[in-house]
A = this chain, B = another copy of it.
Amino acid sequence: MGKAAQPPSGTRDFLADDLRRRKHAFDTLAEIFERYGFDPLETPAFENLSVITGKYGEEAARLIFKILKRGIHESSGQADLALRYDHTVPLARVIATHGSKLPQPYKRYAIGPVWRADRPQDGRFREFVQCDIDTVGSHSPLADAEIVLALADGLDALGVEGFTFNVNSRRALHALLDVYGVTPQAGTTVLAILDKLDKVSPDAVAKELATGAAGLPTETADSLVTDVTADDRDVIRERLSSTEGGTAGLAEIDTLIQLVTDAGLPADRIAYNPSMVRGLDYYTGVIYEATAPSYPGSICAGGRYDKLVATLGGPDMPACGGSIGVERILAIQSHETATPRGLDVAVPALVDEASVATLAAQLRREGLRTGVFLGTSKKLARQLKWAADQHARVVAILGPDEMAAGNVTVRNMTTGEQTTVAQAAVADHVRRLLADR
């Protein structure tokens, strides 16, 4: 197989321990989303190309994996299908497809792979899992609050410590531009520069605002940066309150923070951040993202996007949702040591195969994860080495002497201790050893 004997660039084989850890994380998140009344949704790995085309902007379009037509059409070199690029476009399509069959509002979670032909690099893959929850069909701030609470519970359950949510609002950001006299043309650039305040010094940001495409007067740039970075948020709140949009934006931010803290999220875990700007354009209301010490960038984000479903080809419905960066979290956590899942009990094959099979079946019926030696060696030492390689915690040895007496010798692989027990009692004895650890 040679060079071809690798998974495609940017993809991974998940072997046992990795895969178990991932599945556990996904199941944990699913359980939390279920508790919040979200329903699971799984769409096909690919969509009709027309559903995907034109939905992601020019740059992203180049990252879409397209599937060649088949049969006599293959030689046309044309594609008719495309691999899922995210879970949002399929969600809009599902609402268009199943409309009335769906609960109203439709609250769904999707945890599954998406595919993007990004340049593979450290921590960025071409096949990776996205974990989304969304509520389509509700204007209620309770819907936004539910998303934030479910995301927070998710982070907690994944063992992410010390995370905090920054909250802002598209309306508050628009008001900010108004209040500081930023022209609509410069708006996007100014917001993109402001968004760097979590990484870059205020001075550098002010300087950048006063130059190039942003081109704010130095005084404006300085006061904007001073105001949005002031520990006392009252300064910026007061300025924003001078406009209707600013008042409305602050109100939706405050409502969200109030609802989630009343519901139990500690107040020091969530705060208004006037310079937090989510990159995507489609948000229409509150926006939020969470960061945590020892995790790079944001590990979770979301907001309200009342126009998106219609833009993506679904019906015109209000919506809000968020996403947990589960791959990013798993990548950081993988550096911690994880214990491989070994066998509960290994059964050497020292006597006739039927007796070995019978003993293994007896242990498996009791729910014990049981492996049988399937090699050719008849030597106990060799077979014990195999058991150790399998991380077996116990070995149940059935040799000719044990056979004759109706016994099994049970070896504790941690201590090396061996006890001979009646064959009928072996599962109980193994259980006791496993419980002792």
Contacts and interface: CB of A to CB of B under 8 A. Distances in A.
Interface of A: 1, 4-8, 11-16, 19-20, 23, 34-37, 39-48, 50-51, 62-68, 70-71, 74-79, 81, 83, 92-94, 96-98, 101-105, 107-108, 113, 115, 117, 127, 135, 137-143, 145-146, 149, 153, 255, 258-260, 262-264, 313-314, 341, 343, 349, 353-358, 360-361, 364-365, 367-372, 374-376, 386, 389-390
B353 A259 contact: yes
A324 to B, nearest CB: 17
A127 B44 CA distance: 7
B357 A259 contact: yes
B65 A65 contact: no
B264 A361 contact: yes
A64 B260 CA distance: 49
Contacts of A47: 7-8
Contact of A39 (B6, B15, B93): B15
A13 B45 contact: no
Contact of A37 (B45, B113, B343): B343
B40 A19 contact: yes
Given A37-B390, A140-B349, A42 B14 contact: yes
Given A47-B8, A390-B37, A353 B140 contact: yes
Given A37-B390, A67-B83, A51 B16 contact: no
Given A259-B354, A389-B103, A65 B62 contact: no
Nearest to A345: B37
A259 B8 CA distance: 41
3 cross-chain pairs, A with B, having the tightest CB-CB distances, nearest first: A77-B77, A37-B371, A11-B44
Contact of A13 (B42, B145, B368): B42
Nearest to A77: B77
Contacts of A367: 35
Chain A interface helix/strand/loop/mixed: mixed
Contacts of A67: 65-68, 83
How many copies altogether?
Answer: 2
A70 B117 contact: yes
Given A5-B51, A139-B376, 19 more contacts: A1-B92, A4-B50, A15-B41, A15-B102, A35-B364, A36-B364, A37-B372, A63-B70, A65-B68, A77-B78, A103-B389, A104-B386, A105-B375, A140-B374, A142-B374, A146-B372, A149-B361, A260-B357, A262-B358
A50 B376 CA distance: 35
B39 A138 contact: no
A73 to B, nearest CB: 11
A58 to B, nearest CB: 13
Contact of A12 (B1, B44, B65): B44
A107 B47 CA distance: 34
A113 B96 CA distance: 25
A219 to B, nearest CB: 41
Contacts of A349: 140, 142
A108 B13 CA distance: 13
5 contacts: A11-B45, A19-B40, A46-B65, A67-B68, A77-B78
A1 B313 contact: yes
A4 B51 contact: yes
B68 A66 contact: yes
Contacts of A78: 77
Contacts of A354: 258-259, 262
A262 B351 CA distance: 14
A39 to B, nearest CB: 4
A311 B7 CA distance: 18
A5 B142 contact: no
Nearest to A103: B390
B374 A93 contact: no
A364 B145 CA distance: 14
Contacts of A370: 35-37
Contacts of A353: 140-142, 145, 255, 259
Nearest to A318: B374
B45 A127 contact: yes
Nearest to A138: B374
